[in-house]
Amino acid sequence: MVGIIPAHLASIRFPRKVLHPFSGLAMIEHVRRRALMCPSLADVYVATCDDEVASIVSAGGGTVIRTGNHHLNGTSRIAEAVQNVDASHVVLLQGDEPLLLPRHVEALTASMLRHPNAQAWNATGDIHAPEELDRHSFVKCAVGTDDRILYCFRRSPSTAPYEKQITYIRKILGLFAFTRNSLLSVAAAPTSVVEFNESIEQMRIIESGGTLVSVPVDVALPSVNEPHEAMIVEDAIRHNAEQQDLLRRVLEG
């Protein structure tokens, strides 16, 4: 199993965000170095179309796979990158999540062993407040028997009381994995109806008949989608002993 971090500079809400520095080190390097701490990953690659990203990763000792600049999402980019990589499973690591916890990647690996016939696995987090069920900014999912994700949405279609909904509805987080074959199949498939209209990549897997498994993790970590969220990440590091330890190890190289 390998980890691939799709990265590009043309982010709409925060251009060049993967190069934003934390403690003097580009965000993309924080993610890559944390991923290297995961025992289950045989290797970690950065897939990018940008020379500047490639130069920074290479200077840090990382491995870069060059991709085209036509990709609309990270899944498409890593599908191109994995063409020349020998791996049975691929973990998509988001380049804007510098608080990545290696133990969350290990949770994905454990789920793969429990669900060997699934096509994809997605980390999920708890819902903490009723208003989150209808918050458009992040995706939720309904989880059925044997951890299978039944459907994804941005605003809850459920009429059950909040106390009932939180027993089966969870947040979709930005850490997910595929079998190599399912990744290539999903990337080649046409955009599904719900995916297109709701901007939910996971629905292409579900609508095509694949099994997407929920992998519950204990904490939903903030990512950096807009400039002000960089301060949220910095604050999270300052007030969390586990994050401080990981930061130290990252800066040590």
Q: What is the pLDDT of residue 212?
A: 98
- Asked if the structure places residue 109 within a domain, the reply is yes
Q: What is the pLDDT of residue 115?
A: 97
Q: Which of 1, 7, 23 is nearest to 253 (CA)?
A: 23
Q: What is the pLDDT of residue 158?
A: 93
Q: Which of 229, 243, 249 is nearest to 99 (CA)?
A: 243
- Asked if the structure places residue 76 within a domain, the reply is yes
Residues 200-227: tens digit of each pLDDT: 989 999 998 999 999 999 988 888 988 9
Q: What is the pLDDT of residue 12?
A: 83
Q: What is the pLDDT of residue 136?
A: 86
Q: What is the pLDDT of residue 138?
A: 87
Q: What is the pLDDT of residue 217?
A: 96
Q: With a cut of 50, which residues of the chain have pLDDT below it? A: none
Residue with tokens 């990270």: 74
- Plot region of 39 (φ>0 → left; ψ -120 to 50 → alpha; else → beta): alpha
- Asked if the structure places residue 60 within a domain, the reply is yes
Domain count, the chain: 1
- Asked if the structure places residue 135 within a domain, the reply is yes
- The CATH number of the domain holding residue 169 is 3.90.550.10
- Asked if the structure places residue 246 within a domain, the reply is no
Residues 82-112: tens digit of each pLDDT: 998 999 999 999 999 999 999 999 999 999 9
C-alpha to C-alpha distance for 40 and 133, rounded to whole angstroms: 33
- Asked if the structure places residue 251 within a domain, the reply is no
**SS3 for 149?**
strand
Domain residue limits at 14: 2-227
Tokens matching residue 52 = 């500047």
Q: What is the pLDDT of residue 103?
A: 97
Q: In 85-179, which residue ranges form alpha helices assigned H by DSSP?
A: 102-114, 162-165
Beta strands 212-216 and 140-143 are unpaired
- Asked if the structure places residue 197 within a domain, the reply is yes
pTM score, whole prediction: 0.92
